[in-house]
Structure 1
């Protein structure tokens, strides 16, 4: 089976490429904006479907990992699926997100109602991309909904978070940080992709992809700081947290406008969407993926932390 992976140079895409190439009977093409060498192909998801279809000659399946702005998420998914239809590629694994469930709490199953597909939010764009998957009836599409993906060089939940901790303004947040942190290692997500490729009869379905451990966000912050050799994080009262969030908003708007540098405390402060995430008590069971694809996560938190290979900070504890 020859598989083209979109967004192959990204954090998840590169892990998926590695997992596919390690699987007997599968080969992988790395799709991206540039040709990076052997076994790679130019596949810019914002190109026309006709252009993309030419890159799919001889391809048996597509894994759609490419991410971007809300507009790119929707348009890129539409272009990719249309290109698959034009090229006769019937099997697609689409990487979605638990963001499609919005602020749902408690036990969140695959049939939990999704957010509205209107608006420009990340959640709305992911929900719209899933709606597009359902509208391309000739294609055999499996939608995977990973939780919080972490692993070596994770730009958001590992290296990015450590950088915010090193700035000295991150902490633990009491009740505001006691929501459920649903971590899944990037290698487990990649193995779920392989399982989906090997189970075409699951086409049309969506599956939660979550890790084996349950912990709070405060726990994750403490564990990650310790793994990075940072000093223990200070407790931040909720009133201080919300003051930081509000005060940082104008600076973050300036950053979006390309104005730099900005105060470290402002760029390090949690965004309102993060605060909502850190408070949310929700779990995303993976029994459906186990039953339909025979997939289950295998990388526990201790092993996942060990895989990060983080350089230790100086013994003085200075950020």
Structure 2
């Protein structure tokens, strides 16, 4: 490849890098693995004669999807050996991302956990079609199936996700109010205030990865969640603080114990009550909560 062609390939890749990262992350739930996929995508892209590529964006998404699918299948073994529940790696995102309802929903912890219940192919089809509005023909080229088969997979995946996704979207202001109530209750040990902001059947999923203490199974029910949060977090000697932040395009709490980051507490809010709590404590998954990660669906 000539130097001029290499420069052009680099410029095109960098122009779409944020999109490609977002695709890989939505498929994998891991920033580290998404970065590896982008490296693999780049190595393949520089070998392509771009003069024969009609739609370079679509071609790059195709490469990224294929590499993500390969990695997703290998990640299955890692997740099966994982200690306790597995949660996606939280990404610090710009505050205005929370105002982009489409992006915020597609990147939310709640939806990404639902995506974990799909097969790799179903997940790829659903994400490309629903989040990135990719054509059936382009998805077919990416996953090696016919457009007709892709339509069937998309319908099946959408039905599966719709049955499990949050029932009602709330405004960013409502979500912020719920998280502020959660922060105050955690910092003050106010069990009554915590019960007031939690839905009766709230679910707490905590991910310690075998490194930090976490429940090995989801905790269900407001009373049990209150005991877990106040009895677990606050029994540790020292100062507990919650700092409102935005991860994966949604409001969350950055929890600190004695000034040190303990984890990210993401939430799902419905009807002004918190119905889902997702607490990532595994230190290996907290490397992207200090610097914003740019994300885009287009």
What TM-score range do you get, normalising by the shorter chain? under 0.3
In the superposition, the TM-score normalised over structure 1's length comes to 0.23
Q: TM-score, length-normalised on structure 2? A: 0.25
Structure that is richer in helix per residue: 2
Query: Higher relative contact order at CA 8 Å, sep ≥6: structure 1 or structure 2?
Result: 2
